[in-house]
A and B are shown apart, each in its own frame.
Chain A
């Protein structure tokens, strides 16, 4: 731990990013490729698909912060995506149908407000109990979203709530399209899949860089120390509970961010997105992609969403093939897809 915090100063760039120059180059290349992508493939279906993958990648990455770096398991991390989506959606249709950034802020802040006391409670328990409590609370959010029919629209999702005449400002009967404003400039509108794609890409890249920065900062080192050995960490004077709570809040905040983006893409949210099985799928994205790498979960999300989409279009019996692929990957890629690359070259974090 102390090694990491007292790292010898490298190049300015490396110090800022905390990354190996090679992986930094790779990152820039990937982002550049993704910026060009919608210009090459103009079919809105694919733009939509990539947006979805990015959003779920962000959600999976947020779980990776918790699981891979803090060593805590959240069974139903998707419920925090759901909470933020409901909050942002309800805010847009009831209070302010114009500002995208405000809706995003409300979604994330609301998620954090819910996550705080829950996290406070959860970090007071051990590893397994923490995981089980995330499940219990996740199920509760799910049932509330499903049963609070007047506000959430129940099983049918937010569109049904709008149909019940709850909102004051929704005119077109759905969460409205929003302008993407930056100060005085109007950069686009969420009715255009390309604009949504760029919005999501921008947010995801910023979130990725900040998270990457965070896990390579002293804070990240503390979290990792807690993951490796909680007792020893507390002996050197680390307030374990406090840092666990910080890790939890970061993870929930990022999940909330993904949730608000989901709302701009889908303009609807239903409780099934918050179901326990969807939570298991987020966990799967993290593990298939590679835990503890931050970028692995994006890969995992991509693989899993593409797999499910393609197979379920190709055959009615897609479940068989999805099952087989998942089993195969778990058995033969123990460290996920990200683990493959570390077999080829050493990870930057080991490159002292």
Chain B
């Protein structure tokens, strides 16, 4: 019984991380029609910014300095904001000029960007893995009777819930969010209504990058922070949004949890073939629902 609960929790943690990364990717796709292959690298960047802020050891290609280090929770807000800033610069410099080109060109552009960011991370921070040290009270396992589970993983689940709550509030209750959702559906109408479509698209791109940054920071205490940490996360989140439906927010939520659970369950039951099951699931779902569980099949 204890292990069943653990597997459910493991699935939730996996799914939660996938969710935050994938929803960012999907927001960017939904409004910009850009499949951002550098998304995994932005996720890594979030983790590295977090590590830098928490330890206070700033590396800047040789212009290094140190400060006291920030509180974990303060860094949790600042690091994704910095990733958002990077995202804003990228949008202005690279994505904007590509707006009228077919999607495959931005696909290749962001693939080049992935190389660039990964290379810069490696050049600046090196290959040694790092961890973000969480606050003391999150470092020990939580015991409930003879059942135990790492406290930080509970905290991560809470974090995912809070982030999703904030995101939903942003999208449903604020002017910007409502414009975004409308622009994703009928951009012509929205721009006819006098909404600055450009600003909405920039906003969506930055928001997507911030989500990647949050996810990167949240996994910092769990998984080793490495220059290539984003590669597999990119593929996993790609699988998630494909299953969920490109551009569909509800679809991503369903798919992220589904993939998380299937992976956790498959690893526990048929350990050696776990990943085969995940990809099999993707193919089977696509055969029956070509645009994903809740996708609408928009494509440019």
Contacts and interface: CB of A to CB of B under 8 A. Distances in A.
| A–B proximity contact (CB within 8 A) | yes
A7 to B, nearest CB: 29
B108 A284 contact: yes
Contacts of B101: 334
B119 A280 contact: no
Contact of B113 (A136, A325, A327): A327
Contact of A330 (B105, B117, B123, B287): B105
The listed residue with most B CB atoms (<10 A of its CB), out of A136, A137, A325, is: A136
Interface in A274-300: 276-277, 280-281, 283-284, 287-288
Interface residues of A, number: 41
The listed residue with most A CB atoms (<10 A of its CB), out of B107, B235, B239, is: B107
Given A135-B242, A334-B101, A129 B119 contact: no
A238 interface: no
Interface in B92-117: 94, 97-98, 101, 104-105, 107-109, 111-117
Contact of B104 (A73, A325, A327): A73
B130 interface: no
A322 B115 contact: yes
Given A133-B283, A276-B235, A283-B107, A319 B119 contact: yes
B67 interface: no
A133 B290 contact: yes
B291 A327 contact: no
Which DSSP category, helix, strand, loop or mixed, fits chain B's interface?
helix
A33 interface: no
B108 A323 contact: no
Given A129-B286, A326-B115, A330-B108, A139 B279 contact: yes
Interface string A325-341: 11100110010000000
Contact of B116 (A143, A327, A330): A327
A322 B101 CA distance: 22
B276 interface: yes
Nearest to B117: A323
B282 interface: yes
Nearest to A327: B112
A128 B291 contact: yes
Contact of A327 (B94, B235, B276): B94
B283 A323 contact: no
Contacts of B279: 136, 139-140, 142-143
B272 interface: yes
A35 interface: no
B299 A126 contact: yes
B85 to A, nearest CB: 19
A38 B24 CA distance: 51
B147 interface: no
B280 interface: yes
B272 A147 contact: yes
Contact of B290 (A67, A125, A327): A125
Contact of A139 (B108, B282, B297): B282
Contacts, number: 120
Nearest to B101: A334
Contacts of B276: 140, 143-144, 147
Contacts of A140: 276, 279-280, 283
A334 B105 CA distance: 8
Contacts of B113: 323, 327
A43 B101 CA distance: 42
A118 to B, nearest CB: 9
A318 interface: yes
Contacts of B272: 147
Interface in B169-183: none
Nearest to A149: B272
Contact of A129 (B108, B239, B297): B297
Nearest to A126: B297
Contact of A280 (B37, B97, B123): B37
B283 A326 contact: no
Nearest to B292: A132
A258 B11 CA distance: 41
A36 interface: no
Nearest to B123: A317
A318 B104 CA distance: 24
B122 interface: yes
Interface string A254-279: 00000000000000000000001100
A323 B114 CA distance: 7
Nearest to A324: B116
5 contacts: A139-B282, A281-B111, A323-B115, A324-B116, A325-B112
Interface of B: 37, 94, 97-98, 101, 104-105, 107-109, 111-120, 122-123, 231, 235, 238-239, 242, 246, 272-273, 275-276, 279-280, 282-283, 286-287, 290-291, 297-299
Interface of A: 67, 73, 121, 125-129, 132-133, 135-137, 139-140, 142-144, 147, 276-277, 280-281, 283-284, 287-288, 317-327, 330-331, 334
Q: Give the 4 A-B CB pairs with smallest separation, nearest first.
A: A323-B116, A326-B112, A319-B119, A129-B290
